[in-house]
Structure 1
């Protein structure tokens, strides 16, 4: 059985109870992973990887303490995946699990081909994207997505995928889910289940929080961000074209 890790801040007792109840109902064993609190003092050593200059240059914003703690928590579980040398499922504690599709996916994991290294288990949150079927298990269809999902609520990850995420994460300057969405940079292709296995439970507000903007962005910063976004779009589009071409050759 694939190990399931649930990211949870020790102070988030209600979330802990809620996700425990859902997984217990499915008779699934799981392990809580103590989330890194980005507000703690002294800060966790991993937070030294954050580069605010790059964040301002490319994103024109500063990551909040909650976003940094979230990044560190996922990063440590990527390391755990490599250490265990086996695939794992990572779930954030505000997840609402769709019982049938989630169980079907877990049962289908042994059928997955080795080249599928990471699978998002929730609905893509982008306004516009395309997806197409890549692989069909007994009960689960895996799709390739042309844009990332804009969240890290729950995903399946293999050791090879975890290594790639780690190797390309030496400096942090964007939220962890946005970093994971940059498949043309981290080389972890963007796959997801055609039918969602879980979503964010609407009764829980985000624990992450966002840094409030204290000053108006000047024209230079706005132009830099627009240039960065345009460059990202071009590189993503080229990557997707190459991927589609390689699939046709197979």
Structure 2
């Protein structure tokens, strides 16, 4: 396998997870390295106040960010600096990532040029999504204007949200944009992809099917306990009431996606006919 992209794995030195993912990478002969994540336990209160904008976070999410979420953001920012200085696109994984065979057989060998022309970041998976639930996720979140690379689809979902950072591809341009718009104290979640898109002018796409999965069912998260405690609760009855609206939204999204494909196909056909005259 002639991989085009190195893999950077964000990992706490104390996590105890490195051996598993290193064995997988070595088995496939992947060029990889670990990025030591910043340990939130080492934050002093005055240091946290300097590194984190609590007012901005509360304004956006109606809650404070956890120490772990701040440390996670800072860890990925260190990684983006390496991407910019190295001048190469990389694939970023977290150390609890589970990888499909297509990750090694296809994604690692994507042609960099065409990919960099359509995206700054491509999300390769989604946190808290099991493989058994993937088909439903694809159904409810179709892609718009999807391009095919090596038989896989890369496009824009109808809704981008805080869907995790378990695995993503990022270009040097994407890393440069990310660093520029996140300079200063942390004021948002790392995986707030709409924020990166709107505030950072980053082009963020998603892959279908996903090839990276989070081992949330078997490995405890350092972030999840504190995050659940701080997050506002949502009543169960509200989800039940919203279900009919989700069905309507589902039909509308697939209709829009189909219309876009038809328009693009007609445009492409017109260009080919025009060129033949």
Q: Residue 132 in 1 paired to residue 147 in 2?
A: no
Q: 1:213 to 1:115 in 2, by over 3 A?
A: closer
- The equivalences for 1:69-108 within 5 A come to 69-108=71-110
Q: 1:102 to 1:143 in 2, by over 3 A?
A: farther
Structure 2 unmatched runs, 5+:
130-135, 234-259, 269-277
Higher helix residue share: 2
Q: 1:197 aligns with which of 211, 215, 233?
A: 211
Deviation digits for residues 108-152 of structure 1 (CA, Å, limit 9, x no counterpart): 233424242111111486975331353212233212222225100
Deviation digits for residues 14-34 of structure 1 (CA, Å, limit 9, x no counterpart): x11111122122221200110
Q: Distance in 1 between matches of 2:46 and 2:84?
A: 21
Please say which structure displays the higher CA radius of gyration: 2
SS of 1:192's equivalent in the other structure is strand
Deviation digits for residues 50-99 of structure 1 (CA, Å, limit 9, x no counterpart): 11112222222111111111111111111111111110111000000112
Q: Residue 163 in 1 paired to residue 176 in 2?
A: yes
SS of 2:41's equivalent in the other structure is coil
Checking the alignment, whether the CA contact within 8 Å between 1:16 and 1:93 is kept in structure 2 is yes
Q: Distance in 2 between matches of 1:32 and 1:42?
A: 25
Deviation at 1:193, TM superposition (A): 1.3
- The equivalences for 1:19-34 within 5 A come to 19-34=21-36
SS of 1:33's equivalent in the other structure is strand
Q: Distance in 2 between matches of 1:83 and 1:3?
A: 14
Q: TM-score, normalised by structure 1?
A: 0.77
Checking the alignment, whether the CA contact within 8 Å between 2:37 and 2:75 is kept in structure 1 is yes
SS of 1:39's equivalent in the other structure is helix
- Corresponding position of 2:255: none
Task: Tell me the C-alpha RMSD between the 2 structures.
Answer: 3.1
Q: Distance in 2 between matches of 1:98 and 1:200?
A: 11
Checking the alignment, whether the CA contact within 8 Å between 2:126 and 2:165 is kept in structure 1 is no
Q: 1:205 to 1:47 in 2, by over 3 A?
A: farther
Checking the alignment, whether the CA contact within 8 Å between 2:123 and 2:168 is kept in structure 1 is yes
SS of 1:177's equivalent in the other structure is coil
Checking the alignment, whether the CA contact within 8 Å between 2:126 and 2:214 is kept in structure 1 is no
Structure 1 unmatched runs, 5+:
218-243
- Corresponding position of 2:200: 186
Q: Residue 208 in 1 paired to residue 223 in 2?
A: yes
Q: 1:195 to 1:213 in 2, by over 3 A?
A: closer
How many positions carry a matched residue from both structures?
A: 221
Checking the alignment, whether the CA contact within 8 Å between 2:5 and 2:109 is kept in structure 1 is no
- The equivalences for 1:1-150 within 5 A come to 1-13=4-16, 15-42=17-44, 48-110=50-112, 111-123=114-126, 128-148=140-160, 150=163
